[in-house]
Amino acid sequence: MNKGILITFEGIDGSGKTTQINELIHRLDQRNIDYQLFREPGGTRIGEKIRDILLDKDHSNMLPITELLLYSASRYQLTMRSIIPALNAGKVVICDRFYDSTTAYQGYGRGIDLEFIKRLNAVATKSLIPDKTFILDISLEERLQRLGKINLDRLEQEAITFHKKVREGFIAIAREEPERMILIDGNRPAEEISKEIWNHVKSIRSEKIE
């Protein structure tokens, strides 16, 4: 086992991942705990270029498998170049999305075979599994209210039925791995959620250290 701790945040867009990650980082900063933060897709120079291709509104004709492979390519680069070295150095690594997003968006959302995605996810992550994954769940009405309708990227522009499938996908994933996954009701005030998340993070830290 590597020395660090890998914590990932998942959920549909607008569910509050960025807000909660900022809260968590603030708490880590206050305690002088060394962490590294990455986002997917992206997080490396090559990954950020892949991100631009994936989110470009002009790429409306991108095929589902093309999309799947691009997310996976970005992830492999990030895992090998950044996440694994940071974990080996004993850091707390926080990821704004990781392979569960592929299962939810490309698997449940696009309908690509889930077993195939499982195998590809294992390749793209060198079978690395997060210590804890927080899935922020909000209603689709709340999502629309939070995001508004301006400047949405390619994935955000998808129809409401797509986001419904993705949301249901995340809930299904959470049920499959109850030890790792914490399904959080994201419709509540941000402060309440951040306290809940912090309590979980404290318990992972003590489990790993003992």
What's the closest the beta carbon of residue 177 comes to ligand TYD, in angstroms?
Answer: 17
| Partner from ligand TYD, ligand ADP, none binding residue 16, C-beta < 5-8 Å depending on class | ligand ADP
What's the closest the beta carbon of residue 101 comes to ligand ADP, in angstroms?
Answer: 11
What's the closest the beta carbon of residue 66 comes to ligand ADP, in angstroms?
Answer: 24
Of residues 137-166, which lie at the interface with ligand ADP (CB under 6 A)?
146
Of the candidate residues 2, 13, 37, 198, the single one contacting ligand ADP (CB under 6 A): 13
16 binds ligand ADP (CB under 6 A): yes
Q: Nearer to ligand TYD by C-beta: 156 or 196?
A: 156
Q: Nearer to ligand TYD by C-beta: 74 or 194?
A: 74
3-state secondary structure the chain: CCCCEEEEEECCCCCCHHHHHHHHHHHHHHCCCCEEEEECCCCCHHHHHHHHHHHCCCCCCCCHHHHHHHHHHHHHHHHHHHHHHHHHCCCEEEEECCHHHHHHHHHHHCCCCHHHHHHHHHHHHCCCCCCEEEEEECCHHHHHHHHCCCCCCCCCCCCHHHHHHHHHHHHHHHHHCCCCEEEEECCCCHHHHHHHHHHHHHHHHHHHHC
The residues that touch ligand ADP, with contacts defined as CB under 6 A, are: 11, 13-19, 146, 189-190, 193
Residues making contact with ligand TYD (CB under 6 A): 13, 17, 39-41, 55, 71, 96-97, 101-102, 105-106, 155-156
